[in-house]
A and B are shown apart, each in its own frame.
Chain A
Amino acid sequence: MTKSVRARRRLPKLPGNIKVRVGIAIIVCFALLAVLGPFVVENLMGLSPTDVDTSGSMQPPSGAHLLGTTANGEDVFAQLVVGSRVSLLVGLVAGVVTTVLSVLVGVAGGYLGGRADSFLTVATNIFLVIPGMPLLIIVASYVQGRGGWLTVALVIGLTAWPWAARQKRAQTLSLRHRDFVAAAEMTGESRWGVITRELIPSLAPLISVSFLGAVVGSMFADAGLSFMGLGNINITSWGSMLYWAQNGSALTRGAWWWFVPPGACIALVGVAAGLVNFGIDEVSNPRLRKPSKQVRMRARAARLGAADTAVPAQATPVKEATS
């Protein structure tokens, strides 16, 4: 085995599907923006998201203000970049809480079965049918102002787990009777050991996809809560930008540059997650795949050949068979 082959082996394998690649690329871009962006904007470009400048309010995009200004004259571009950090952080923390809870409930229920499973399933189903957003609004309005974005993230995580738990339980049920689980049980592995060492690694692809979904869902929920004035409206985030835009009647004053960019960023993250999800669906279910161009051409040629009976699809079958 040559050196280069071994080096290539060690790198994590990037899925070949183009949709998955594009989706991951967009997400990586936003992650970089959140990590490096605020530094670049505040220290290198000298912009501030909170500097009030009443003489230059409601300016459309220009050279001085790439995305225009708010009603207080704050720079929208600076707000957008700085706000990405809080929005992604809320999504990340809430996504982790959701995923951990859903794995605990879903995998444990699916594997243990019996009474524990019945109890967990009923609990999951009950929280599934109680509408999430009103519950979120009630809890968020009580904790308003206490704990900042972390509280909001925890509240979102605590209300969002049932969908994901249900999905993981279903998948665990199908793994539960496979040979490798039985083998692990035979060697005296404890239940907790089977769950953490056998089941969770096998569920890793599903868990990572549902984690991505949970992050995006939490960002949507955070934006919605902030838009209502609950949560972190005094910290710059994409959601709080939408709140202040609505409050400053950006809509009726035609200030599209104020509310379009933050929403577009949230939407772009959503689309990226959708692409990854959709692409992975195609990978795991070959029937959903569009046939490759080569195959389509061959099929077309075969159809034409069939219509054109003079040219049989296989011109020299006998020769080929013998060679």
Chain B
Amino acid sequence: MATAPVLTPAAAEAPPPARRTAAGRLGAARYFLRRLGFYLGAAAVAVTLNFLIPRLMPGDPASALISQMQQKQNLSAEQVTSIYRLFGAPGAPLWDQYVTYLGQIAHFDFGASVAYYPTPVWEVIRSGLPWTIGLVGLTAVLAFVIGTSMGVLAGSRVGSRFDSFITPASMFLGALPFFWVALLLVMAFGVQLNWLPISGAYDGDMAVAFNGPFLASVVTHGILPAITMVVASFGGWLVGMRNMMVTTVSEDYVLLARAKGLSKARVMFQYAARNAVLPSVAGFALTIGSAVSGQILVEIVFSYPGVGYLLYQAVSSVDYPLMQALFLIVSLTVLAANFIADSVYGLIDPRARETRS
């Protein structure tokens, strides 16, 4: 922060550096409270959607599901109640059902899974959550860092050889359907060349433990899914950063820095890129949801044991309790991640606290 450019637009337009003053701290606190309120509201909507969707479905899905399941196996009384709990017992007032439902999710009580009976739904989800969070977190950050830094290089000299190759190329990669790219990678590196494993998150013969061989197995199993996720999403960051750089490079303070005779790299990274990156950072939170959405299909291709693959299994075995709970947990996790990313952005850019609602 010591070498911050003097003439950034922030310094020119925003009130004097507010961070260390009492008023600045108050502004920051107000910003966090507002964001917290927004995300609590979003969480309430997600919870309510999760409650309403099965109840708004036409027909009587509960009876249909019960009769469908009884053809395959004998249902226990407990399974029948867990299905009625999901779709609403016939005749009970909606409001009472809602209150009961809220009480249940507050205790992570989602009933028993149909596909993994009698394992409770929450246990099943807990086994998948770390794999998804790990892979999404890692690949989202990687794609952001790779895409943004290449965007700086491409945008600082529009029309250069690097720019005219990488910009269309990354745009092309971004226009491909995620899971089809995953299929191609499986075909090429898994089946034909046989270099990398094509399914699971670790070698099935191994016991889960924190030792060298197990971690190595996790890494080799993660390479192809991770490459798919990064390849599919770094292009958006690249093009966005490039276009912001092009606009920023012609600002007066960059011209001044150049006129002072500072080195090219310093002008580009410390003056232009620092300001051009702010919209990208602001947009980072919003991409978490779409990263998770893409991850679901990628996990299915690789049989990667995260929540996406669980959702797939829940869908194919008509395990409505598991499906419902997965939607809820995934949504709430994405909202929490969004809140964290938003808060970090509020710390980096004081202007965000003024303008965003």
Residues of A close to B330: CB separation below 8 A = 131, 134
What is the size, in residues, of chain A's interface with B at 8 Å between Cβ atoms?
A: 52
> Given the known A-B contacts A133-B296, A135-B327, are A281 and B243 also in contact in the complex, defined by CB atoms under 8 Å?
yes
Complex interface residues of chain B between 230 and 269 (CB less than 8 A to chain A): 239, 243, 246-247, 250
Contact residues, A259-278 vs B (CB, 8 A) = 259-260, 263, 266-267, 270-271, 273-274, 278
- A122→B40 CA distance, assembly (Å): 12
Interface: B149 (CB within 8 A) = no
The residues of A that contact B270 with a CB separation of less than 8 Å are: none
A130 to B334, Cβ gap below 8 A? yes
Partner of B38, one of A125, A271, A278, A287: A125
Which residues of A are found within 8 Å of B164, using beta-carbon distances?
Answer: 290
Alpha-carbon gap, A134 to B296, bound state (A): 8
- Fill in one digit per residue for B165-190: 1 if any A CB lies within 8 Å of its CB, else 0: 00010011011111110011011001
Stretch of B8-16, B42-50, B74-82 with 4 or more beta carbons under 8 angstroms from chain A: B42-50
Identify A251's interface contact among B61, B187, B316, CB under 8 A: B187
Q: Once the chains bind, are B331 and A227 in contact (CB under 8 Å)?
A: no
| Interface assignment of B324: CB less than 8 Å from any CB of chain A | yes
B293 within 8 A of A: yes
Q: Which residues of A contact B311 (CB under 8 A)?
A: 134, 137
Contact with B177, one of A122, A137, A224, A229 (Cβ below 8 angstroms): A224
- Encoded as 1 (CB less than 8 Å from any A CB) or 0, chain B from 186 to 203 comes to 110011100000100000
- CB of B226 closer than 8 Å to a CB of A: no
Query: What total of A-B pairs shows CB separation below 8 Å?
Result: 153
B289 surroundings in chain A (CB, below 8 A): 128-132
Looking at the complex, which one of B53, B176, B331 makes contact with A130 (CB distance below 8 Å)?
B331
The answer on a CB contact under 8 Å between A143 and B49 is no
Q: How far is the CA of A144 from the CA of B178 in the complex (A)?
A: 23
Residues of B within 8 A of A263 (CB): 177, 180, 183-184
Q: Which residues of the partner chain A approach B190 to less than 8 Å between Cβ atoms? A: 251
Please pick, from B183, B243, B312, B326, the residue contacting A259 in the complex, using a CB distance under 8 A. B183
Contacting pair B177 A288 (CB below 8 A): no
Residues of chain A having any CB pair with chain B under 8 Å: 118, 121-122, 125-135, 137-139, 141-143, 146, 216, 220, 223-224, 227-230, 242, 246, 251-252, 254, 256, 259-260, 263, 266-267, 270-271, 273-274, 278, 281, 285, 287-288, 290-291, 296
* Selected A-B contacts with CB under 8 Å, 20 pairs: A129-B289, A130-B334, A130-B335, A131-B289, A132-B290, A134-B292, A134-B296, A135-B49, A137-B315, A138-B53, A138-B324, A141-B318, A142-B53, A143-B57, A220-B177, A224-B178, A251-B191, A270-B175, A287-B247, A291-B159
